[in-house]
Amino acid sequence: MNSLFSHVQIGRYNLSNRMVMAPMTRSRADDAGVPSELVPTYYAQRASAGLIISEGVFPVAQGKGYVRTPGIETAEQVAAWRMVAEAVHARGGRIFIQLMHCGRVSHPSLLADGAQPQGPSAIKAAGQTWTATGLQDFVTPQALSLTEIAAVIAGYRQAARLAIEAGFDGVELHAASGYLPEQFLSTGSNQRDDQYGGSVQNRARFVLEVLAAMASEIGSDRVGIKISPEMNFNDITDANPQETYSYLVEQLRGLNLAYLHVALFGASVDYHALLRPLFDGSYLVGGGLDQRSAAALIANGRADAAVFGSAFLANPDLPERFRAGAELNLPNKDTFYAPGAEGYIDYPAMSLSANA
């Protein structure tokens, strides 16, 4: 019977435990998308995770969707990420970068020359995003042309290559939470009548082509994907999510990906029961886990690794705390996306909290 603390092979890596740090946007980059000097410390503090998945990072400037989020496109961005990867490796950790293209859920003030956000179709999402002047409504996106779709896929390919050059161990495609890949997958945001819209085969094409491009660039065993069926975040809706995700996951079979990461929040059916039998690789489960529920998932073989978000945010030494049965620091929501060190690199490790 496996435990949270047992080794596990994920893609080409043998991880020292089955606790994965979830991708979490922390908005500690400058306006050019360059991570600040605090970022290596933040991730290095959490290097005892079996695997860290970075915050969402835009592969191309047009994919930015929130103020102060980082990219991996320019030489300055790559240089800053190299410090992050080195800091994590120096502590014996592993780190994948999460590539997040926000698509229609962005705002012209976040894009070069006030550009219009782009999506599969010109359908505006209800809701708002964080800009330099506070919350602003989403706008109607421009529908991507076929040439522009090819350029976006090339952007993901380049970002995967740059991530490896920067020293990351691999790349996760963010196909969850209502961002561009899920906008293609979902009927509510994709009403195209070409090969990227309509049937489930067509709606899944973008995601599968992005994965194929990244895998051919860096090796499929360094590429993972995150999905969140029925999460409905960012106004994403699909007429038949069980069919959409069953089809997608069946198509992932045989791609030899490092992993499939499924985060569930209040779905109408047990997608883990539906999807895991359809997939042939490592299966990561996230969303609202605690030590007990995660250990049960691993022990029952329902997941190969367990993904923790806010618990890792607030507890840099989460594996050690779980081993010791220690109390956890509570996350402070006020500083999730605030600039600066507070609520970022000052959550105490266990011995320090015990002395406090």
Ligand X SMILES: Cc1cc2nc3c(=O)[nH]c(=O)nc-3n(C[C@H](O)[C@H](O)[C@H](O)COP(=O)(O)O)c2cc1C
Residues marked active site are found at: 179
Q: Which is nearer to ligand X, 179 or 206 (CB)?
A: 179
Q: Do the Cβ atoms of 64 and 102 come closer than 8 Å? A: yes
- Identify the residue among 24, 38, 208, 278 touching ligand X (CB under 6 A): 24
For ligand X, which residue of 74, 158, 310, 335 counts as binding (CB under 6 A)? 310
Q: Is 348 in the site for ligand X (CB under 6 A)?
A: no
Q: How far is the CB of 228 from ligand X (least distance, A)?
A: 7
Shortest spacing between CB 314 and ligand X, in angstroms: 10
Q: Is 120 in the site for ligand X (CB under 6 A)?
A: no
Choose the stretch contacting ligand X; rule: CB under 6 A; options: 18-26, 29-37, 191-199, 208-216: 18-26
Q: Which two tokens stand for residue 342?
A: 């507070």
Cβ-based nearer residue to ligand X, 70 or 197: 70
Structural contact between residues 197 and 205, judged by C-beta atoms closer than 8 angstroms: no
Label residue 277 exposed, middle or buried (CB < 10 Å: 0-12, 13-18, 19+). Answer: exposed
CB-based burial label for 199 (10 Å; 0-12, 13-18, 19+): exposed
Contact between 308 and ligand X by CB under 6 A: the answer reads: yes
Residue 223 host element (H or E)? strand 223-227
Closest distance to ligand X from the beta carbon of 292 (Å): 13
Spatial neighbors of 249 by CB under 8 A, at least 6 apart, are 260, 275, 278, 279
What three-state secondary structure class fits 224? strand
CB of 96 to ligand X, least distance (A): 12
Scanning residues 248 to 287, which ones bind ligand X (CB under 6 A)? 263, 286-287
Binding segment for ligand X (CB under 6 A), chosen from 21-29, 76-84, 188-196, 199-207, is 21-29
When binding is defined by CB under 6 A, the residue of 4, 8, 22, 144 that contacts ligand X is 22
Q: Which residues of 141-157 are buried (b: 16+ CB within 10 A; e: fewer)?
A: bebbeeeebeebbebbb
In a 10 Å sphere around its CB, with 0-12 CB exposed, 13-18 middle and 19+ buried, how is residue 347 labelled?
A: buried
Residue nearest to ligand X (CB): 309
Residue 25 touching ligand X (CB under 6 A): yes
Question: Is residue 71 involved in binding ligand X (CB under 6 A)?
Answer: no
Shortest Cβ 320–ligand X spacing (Å): 18
Nearer to ligand X, 198 or 336 (CB): 336
- Taking the CA atoms of 182, 167, 37 and 46 in sequence, report the sign of the dihedral they define: positive
Give me the residues paired with residue 171 across strands. Answer: 97, 223
Residues 6+ apart with CB under 8 A from 168: 54, 81, 85, 95, 96, 97
Q: Is 319 in the site for ligand X (CB under 6 A)?
A: no
By C-beta, is 127 or 254 nearer to ligand X? Answer: 127
Indicate which single residue of 158, 326, 336, 353 sits in contact with ligand X (rule: CB under 6 A).
336
Query: Alpha helix locations (H) across 174-204?
Result: 180-185, 200-203
For residues 225 and 261, the answer to whether their CB atoms sit within 8 Å is yes
- Letter string b/e over residues 242-271, b meaning 16 or more CB atoms within 10 A of that residue's CB: bebbbbbbebbeebebbbbbbbbeebeeeb
Q: How far apart are CA 192 and CA 184, in angstroms?
A: 9
**Shortest Cβ distance from residue 346 to ligand X (Å)?**
16
Q: 241-252 vs 205-218: helix axis angle to the nearest 10?
A: 20
Which lies closer to ligand X via its Cβ, residue 26 or residue 192? 26
| Closer of 130 and 192 to ligand X (Cβ) | 130
Closer Cβ to ligand X, 183 or 192, answer by number = 183
Contact positions with ligand X (CB under 6 A) in 168-227: 174, 176-177, 226
Interaction of residue 289 with ligand X, rule CB under 6 A: yes
Q: How far is the CB of 307 from ligand X (least distance, A)?
A: 7
Q: Site residues (CB under 6 A) for ligand X?
A: 22-25, 55-56, 98, 100, 174, 176-177, 226, 263, 286-289, 308-311, 336
